Structure 1
Amino acid sequence: MDLSCFKAYDLRGRVPDQLNPNLAERIGRAYVETTGARKVIVGYDIRLSSPEIADALSSGLMAAGADVYDIGLCGTEHVYFATSHFGMDGGIMVTASHNPRDHNGMKMVGPESRPISSDNGLNDIRDRVPEPFEDAPRQGKYETLEVMAPYVDHLLGYIDAGSLKPLKIVVNAGNGGAGLVIDALEQHLPFEFIKVHHEPDGHFPNGVPNPILPENRAATAEAVLEHKAAMGIAWDGDFDRCFFFDETGRFIEGYYIVGLLADQFLRKTGGGKVIHDPRLTWNTLDLVKAAGGEPVESKTGHAFIKQRMRDEDAVYGGEMSAHHYFRDFAYCDSGMIPWLLVAERLCQSGQPLSSLIDARIEAYPASGEINRTIDNPPKVIQAIEEIYGAGAKAINHVDGLSVEFDDWRFNLRMSNTEPVVRLNVESRADQALMEEKTAELLNEMDRLNRA
């Protein structure tokens, strides 16, 4: 049996050879037998194969004795929300996020929407799948559950509706599921939405929604300029990540959004802990401390960030990859809460988004993440540490290698899935230095790779 769809954090694979209804049914049975769940939320994204895979998954869950609560077509965060809000034993979202059109997958959570990944149960589920199954003495029951209304109420709880003013906002769902939520929110907000690629369509007529790819940004940027909008927002297919464009149509690096959201959230909470990843840090540290918060560094990746947030009872966590996590959202990531907070900030400050971001880019210019294919990543990273470590002010290994000097720093880390090394460089208010050090490090990596 091909179980290659099981990855470190979730399941993803081609349909039907790596994931199909037969395998999905067995995964449902294995999930129940491994976790002991009795009440499980099931939702699915807009992919053409998703309803059939979700049905088969539900059949397996029920055959193993679990009750299924079907929330239908939705985003990943609906499953997170429903699992915690309704006190379920677990939840499974059928989605392959921004993978190619012919792929599908699953994201799994346990009670309180705690992530199930390879280090806490996902491998056990995988290992159970090929073994024989017997039906449970009592079949689970099936019912549908309406989640959108309580979910929208919850979203609106993050902002002060009285402070909102009319804004024109471009929203690009990429033909994924985000448009359904925008339509549900629209009646509660004074915003005019310019809707781009709005209708859910698993054929992905405009390409698979993944705005982190530069070639996928033009439609949002052009609509912002054409309609003179205050900002643009684009989502991936299951909308657990959101991406921002300012009023000039410029794409904003996720790093600067983390700082902006941390600042906005701490203003509301009057302090608290903020979790951030180690790739780029200085802007976040600066803003969190200035707003009376306490920054806490965590290894990159949603399972690590969510666990650290629980451990620290952090109010907010952010990764530069456009994942944003909230304590009151079961410590899970949401692609809807961030843009609501940014829109609120624009209304309250009266400033354009570009001015809020420009000052931060000037204070802490950053390279953005640069990937290099390297034959022997551990060897190259070790050599870089030896070269740069001697004169460094600080070195840490929370995630890869972080090296800090007085006026610049960098993080170098390996990909979990490919022979790629990811570099991030930033400086203190010195664009030229950041660019010089970025070029120097890339040359050094190329030299070491050839050696």
Structure 2
Amino acid sequence: MTTSPRLSCFKAYDIRGRVPDELNPTIAYRLGLAYAERFAPQRVALGCDIRHSSRSLLEALALGLNHGGSAVVDIGYCGTEEVYFAAQQAGYDGGIMITASHNPADYNGMKLVRENAIPISGDTGLRDLEAAVAASTAEPQGTPEIERVDMRPDYVAFLRGYVANRRIDPLRVVVNAGNGTAGLLIEALKPHLPIEFIGIHTEPDPDFPNGIPNPLEPQNRQTTSDAVIAHGADFGVAWDGDFDRCFLFDEQGRFIEGYYIVGLLAEALLRETPGATIIHDPRLTWNTIAMVERAGGRAVQSKTGHAFIKERMRAEDALYGGEMSAHHYFRAFAYCDNGTLPWMLIAALISETGKPLSALVDERMALFPASGEINRRVADIGTTIAAIEQHYAPAAQKIERVDGLSIEYPEWRFNLRASNTEPLIRLNVEARGDTELMQRKTEELLAMIDTTSGVTA
């Protein structure tokens, strides 16, 4: 039995690699051909971020789709959610977003969906596409036929409709687009919301003069935090490059871990749809489960990663899903992740409750203190996880392997898992109302990881 050759740019649930050695127009062209042959779409929506390589990759991809028999619509520079929106519309049979999100400037990638924005991941077609691309010798020749459509007005109308029955007061909000494409959507939203937007790095710039947009990195948060304080803003928002993740700061300039936002949004949405199902990931769970159950909902755990969450969302017809990594998924958005609806809902919650964001999350942060995700590079992830399990499992109350290793005790728990996108091991620790215990166990686990890592400084 022979196995298909692997291409390094094909990841667990998307495509991402360094340009041009891992991803280039030839691969993009062959992917377009393979996508057209595998899914037989009549019409595919394409969009891209503002990286230097994005337009050339889009045009090569379009050419491959054309040669495979598909018409192509270019919706321009946009966010991933706008491609998902396009793929939900009548007359579209799929969508592909060209983006490397928060990766370095010399990277690019693609996120692929079928009709109704159904994701294409490893076991739903991505491995087949990889095999077809790896086996292909086709070379791009000719000029693509591309129809250009401005879909942003329709998308803005959808967003406005989502909050039409919610109260939003005249708030002041700091928005940090990180020189990605989020600023384009904010500009389109301005006339339609009673919000004073204070923009930071809102001009798209492929050179990312203010650093690669990844607010999960602590060093990238200070600019937003300082601006919230300086302008007396009600809250702040920062995004990654294709704004499918939404990061929030309270009125004190404090970065709020995505974990606590998941519970907050779940509870708010359950008030409108009692008894609905909420999907969450296994990394940090106790606060989400407690808030969902308190609101009369049903909490269901899914493996980490947007493709897995979306699949579970569809299977359960879930109202909402959230990951601590700041991905938020909505049934009203074809079960897809969206980086705009979360902050709009937060604006509505602040307006409707009369409480600042800090007051909405402080109690939950005290009840379930968490470490946030900590990354370590190790020589052999399997060996490290096995050593941790051997040490902690004997006294454990509960052990799960839904995603990596989750070990639970009455008063604290942790999850240790391999990254799906980088050669890293990721640790999350939480406790019940005991910050000191959480910190002590986090330090204990990190020391053990470092001891078994096999990586020298």
TM-score grouping bracket, smaller chain normalisation: over 0.9
Deviations 1:48-102 (A, max 9, x none): 2212221121111112110111111111111111101235221111111111112
Separation in 2, partners of 1:313, 1:371: 33
> Does 2:34 match 1:48?
no
**8 Å CA contact 2:98, 2:109 repeated in 1:** yes
Counterpart of 2:400? Answer: 396
Identity of aligned residues (%): 58
Counterpart of 1:131? Answer: 136
Q: How far has the Cα of 1:418 moved from its partner?
A: 4.9
Counterpart of 1:356? Answer: 360
> Does 2:378 match 1:374?
yes
The one-letter amino acid paired with 1:277 is: D
Superposed counterparts of 1:211-360, under 5 Å = 211-360=215-364
The one-letter amino acid paired with 1:266 is: L
Superposed counterparts of 1:32-71, under 5 Å = 32-71=36-75
The one-letter amino acid paired with 1:107 is: K
- Within the candidate set 175, 185, 188, 1:184 is matched to 188
Separation in 2, partners of 1:164, 1:40: 35
Tell me the TM-score normalised to structure 1 length.
0.94
Counterpart of 1:209? Answer: 213
> Does 2:151 match 1:150?
no
**8 Å CA contact 2:6, 2:131 repeated in 1:** no
Give the direction of change, closer, same or farther, for the CA distance of 1:225–1:31 in structure 2 (3 Å limit): same
Q: How far has the Cα of 1:341 moved from its partner?
A: 0.5
Give the direction of change, closer, same or farther, for the CA distance of 1:290–1:215 in structure 2 (3 Å limit): same
The one-letter amino acid paired with 1:252 is: I
Q: How far has the Cα of 1:419 moved from its partner?
A: 4.8
Q: How far has the Cα of 1:260 moved from its partner?
A: 1.0
Separation in 2, partners of 1:447, 1:21: 43
CA RMSD in angstroms comes to: 2.1
Separation in 2, partners of 1:175, 1:297: 34
Separation in 1, partners of 2:424, 2:178: 28
Deviations 1:239-281 (A, max 9, x none): 0001011111111111111111111111222230000001110
Separation in 2, partners of 1:132, 1:436: 55
Separation in 1, partners of 2:287, 2:411: 13
Match of 1:356, SS state, is helix
**8 Å CA contact 2:59, 2:144 repeated in 1:** no
Worse-matched range after superposition: 276-285 or 146-155: 146-155
- Within the candidate set 102, 120, 126, 1:122 is matched to 126
Give the direction of change, closer, same or farther, for the CA distance of 1:5–1:58 in structure 2 (3 Å limit): same
The one-letter amino acid paired with 1:170 is: V
Worse-matched range after superposition: 33-42 or 151-160: 151-160
Separation in 2, partners of 1:341, 1:304: 24
Give the direction of change, closer, same or farther, for the CA distance of 1:76–1:186 in structure 2 (3 Å limit): same
The one-letter amino acid paired with 2:276 is: G
Match of 2:124, SS state, is coil
Give the direction of change, closer, same or farther, for the CA distance of 1:355–1:181 in structure 2 (3 Å limit): same
Separation in 1, partners of 2:7, 2:387: 37
Give the direction of change, closer, same or farther, for the CA distance of 1:23–1:395 in structure 2 (3 Å limit): closer
Separation in 2, partners of 1:192, 1:106: 33
**8 Å CA contact 1:67, 1:140 repeated in 2:** no
Deviations 1:215-243 (A, max 9, x none): 11111111101100000000111000010
Match of 2:414, SS state, is strand
Match of 1:187, SS state, is helix
Aligned length: 448
Q: Which runs of 4+ in 1 moved over 6 A?
A: none
Give the direction of change, closer, same or farther, for the CA distance of 1:374–1:25 in structure 2 (3 Å limit): closer
> Does 2:102 match 1:102?
no
Q: How far has the Cα of 1:319 moved from its partner?
A: 0.5
The one-letter amino acid paired with 2:425 is: V
The one-letter amino acid paired with 1:279 is: R
**8 Å CA contact 1:87, 1:111 repeated in 2:** no
Give the direction of change, closer, same or farther, for the CA distance of 1:53–1:417 in structure 2 (3 Å limit): closer
Separation in 1, partners of 2:187, 2:144: 34
Match of 1:387, SS state, is helix
Match of 2:416, SS state, is strand
Q: How far has the Cα of 1:134 moved from its partner?
A: 10
> Does 2:14 match 1:10?
yes
> Does 2:72 match 1:76?
no
> Does 2:400 match 1:410?
no
Give the direction of change, closer, same or farther, for the CA distance of 1:51–1:141 in structure 2 (3 Å limit): closer
Separation in 1, partners of 2:6, 2:288: 43
Counterpart of 1:193? Answer: 197
- Within the candidate set 112, 117, 121, 1:113 is matched to 117
Separation in 1, partners of 2:376, 2:10: 26
Give the direction of change, closer, same or farther, for the CA distance of 1:294–1:2 in structure 2 (3 Å limit): closer
Give the direction of change, closer, same or farther, for the CA distance of 1:124–1:189 in structure 2 (3 Å limit): same
The one-letter amino acid paired with 1:192 is: E
**8 Å CA contact 1:402, 1:410 repeated in 2:** yes
The one-letter amino acid paired with 1:131 is: S
Q: How far has the Cα of 1:376 moved from its partner?
A: 3.0
Give the direction of change, closer, same or farther, for the CA distance of 1:374–1:150 in structure 2 (3 Å limit): same
- Within the candidate set 19, 30, 34, 2:23 is matched to 19
**8 Å CA contact 1:376, 1:419 repeated in 2:** no
Separation in 2, partners of 1:330, 1:419: 31
Counterpart of 1:387? Answer: 391
**8 Å CA contact 2:26, 2:139 repeated in 1:** no
**8 Å CA contact 2:224, 2:236 repeated in 1:** yes
Tell me the TM-score normalised to structure 2 length.
0.93
Separation in 1, partners of 2:108, 2:34: 19
Q: How far has the Cα of 1:402 moved from its partner?
A: 1.2
**8 Å CA contact 1:42, 1:91 repeated in 2:** yes
Separation in 2, partners of 1:91, 1:339: 25
**8 Å CA contact 1:10, 1:107 repeated in 2:** yes
The one-letter amino acid paired with 2:340 is: M
Give the direction of change, closer, same or farther, for the CA distance of 1:293–1:87 in structure 2 (3 Å limit): farther
